[in-house]
């Protein structure tokens, strides 16, 4: 009896461990297009390329590096900081705020809007809150025109 119970317990534990390995959302490279051309790529390891050149990195903890220097952070709640000051927020529905004003939206199909006009598109995006946050970080930290 005890052996059977131990075997069932171990089987259940193995099932829980194997299921937990698949609950995380796998990240893929996110490509951001502007005016129909590839503008930026966020690789699955966090490296950020703008116009084909490596421009920085977004680390798993939300730290954002531009040209090797820490420029800011995206927090799990969507708050975005540059040089220690809160500059904006990306909400769970994709609404993007800068200094308290709504400036745009990242839709769940990847379309990016700025002040009501279509600005671009993010491919392989928007399957998780962290994907929205990574795209918002690139828009605010690596684009002078957003």
The whole-angstrom separation of Cα 100 and Cα 91 is 12
Q: What is the pLDDT of residues 133-146, one digit of tens each?
A: 999 999 999 987 78
Which residue ranges make up each domain of the chain? 26-142
Of the candidates 115, 89, 112, the residue with the CA atom closest to the CA atom of residue 39: 112
Which comes out higher in pLDDT, residue 111 or 143? 111
Contacts of residue 14, defined as CB under 8 A and 6 or more positions apart, other chains included, come to none
Q: What is the pLDDT of residue 114?
A: 96
| pTM of this structure | 0.79
Q: Average pLDDT for residues 21-44, to the nearest whole number? A: 79
Pairing of strands 85-90, 79-82: antiparallel
Angle at 130 (CA atoms; ends 136, 16), nearest 5 degrees: 175
Structure tokens given for 90: 């990306």
Structure tokens given for 88: 């904006």
């Amino acid at each position: 009896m005890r052996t059977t119970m131990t075997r069932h317990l171990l089987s259940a534990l193995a099932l829980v461990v194997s299921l937990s390995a698949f609950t995380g959302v796998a990240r893929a490279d996110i490509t951001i297009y502007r005016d129909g051309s590839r503008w930026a790529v966020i690789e699955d390891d966090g490296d950020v390329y703008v116009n084909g050149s490596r421009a920085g990195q977004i680390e798993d903890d939300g730290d954002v590096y531009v040209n090797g220097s820490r420029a800011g952070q995206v927090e799990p709640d969507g708050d975005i900081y540059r040089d220690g000051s809160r500059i904006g927020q990306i909400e769970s529905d994709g609404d993007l705020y800068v200094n308290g004003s709504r400036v745009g939206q990242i839709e769940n199909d990847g379309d990016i809007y700025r002040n009501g006009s279509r600005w671009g598109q993010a491919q392989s995006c928007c399957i998780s809150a962290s994907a929205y946050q990574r795209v918002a970080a690139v828009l605010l930290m690596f684009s002078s025109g957003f």
